[in-house]
């Protein structure tokens, strides 16, 4: 019996090479990600996201992860520039710390976590990133973009 893709019906190859199943988060994560502190303003967070081209920022105190800020949460917290004045927008964004809207105690993984487990967690939770910790300290972040880059690399190498 052939395995078929449930989406498109294409015939799937038999099995996955064993080495692919052994890939870990540590092999594809973004090490030493950009971070902010819980007291940093929403304005600062928005500026960092725009300047760095990122959508999630781990929130740390002395390298210890305390939260995660997602771009979608930041956008939902912003006052509308259509209904409010620019001054009001700036006042709210500069006066509100990221701790007010960050995800407290986000789900984390370690460098040794399998890619399959991390991908299943992201798929099941609809999160776009998982902070990577070692002994309670933030050492990286694995994002949906990291997983897609890995998939593109693997499929591109397929013989």
CATH number of 18-157: 3.10.580.10
Which residues in 57-83 are b (16+ Cβ under 10 Å) and which e? bbbbeeeebbbbbbbebbeebbeeeee
Mean pLDDT of all residues in 36-64:
97
Mean pLDDT of all residues in 129-152:
94
User: pLDDT-based confidence at 35, cuts 50/70/90?
Assistant: very high
- Measure the N-to-C terminal CA separation of the chain; round to a whole number of Å: 23
- How many residues belong to the chain? 159
**Cα 1 from Cα 70, distance rounded (Å):** 43
Residue 19 has pLDDT above 80, yes or no: no
The backbone region for 10, taken as left when phi is positive above 0, alpha when psi lies in -120 to 50, beta otherwise, is: beta
Domain boundaries, the chain: 18-157
Which of 24-33, 83-92, 116-125 is predicted with the least confidence, judged by mean pLDDT?
A: 83-92
**Cα 120 from Cα 115, distance rounded (Å):** 8
Give the closest residue to 140 by CA, choosing from 52, 68, 42: 68
- Predicted pLDDT of residue 139: 97
Which of 22-26, 86-90, 144-148 is predicted with the least confidence, judged by mean pLDDT?
A: 86-90
% of residues, the chain, pLDDT over 70: 87
- Predicted pLDDT of residue 13: 65
Token pair in block for residue 91: 């006042």
pTM of the model: 0.84
**Cα 23 from Cα 118, distance rounded (Å):** 11
Alpha carbon 101 to chain centroid distance? 16
- Predicted pLDDT of residue 158: 61
């Amino acid at each position: 019996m052939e395995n078929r893709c449930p989406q498109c019906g294409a015939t799937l190859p038999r099995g996955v090479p064993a080495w692919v199943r052994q890939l870990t988060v540590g092999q594809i994560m973004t090490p030493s990600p950009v971070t902010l502190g819980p007291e940093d303003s929403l304005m600062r967070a928005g500026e960092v996201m725009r300047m760095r081209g990122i959508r999630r920022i781990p929130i740390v105190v002395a390298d210890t992860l305390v939260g995660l800020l997602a771009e979608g949460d930041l956008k939902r917290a912003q006052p509308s520039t259509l209904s409010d004045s620019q001054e009001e927008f700036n006042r709210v964004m500069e006066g509100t710390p990221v701790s007010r809207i960050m995800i407290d105690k986000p789900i984390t993984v370690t460098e040794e976590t399998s890619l399959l487990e991390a991908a299943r967690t992201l798929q099941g939770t609809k999160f776009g990133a998982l902070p990577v910790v070692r002994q309670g300290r933030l050492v990286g972040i694995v994002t949906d973009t990291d997983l897609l880059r890995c998939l593109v690399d693997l499929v591109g190498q397929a013989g």
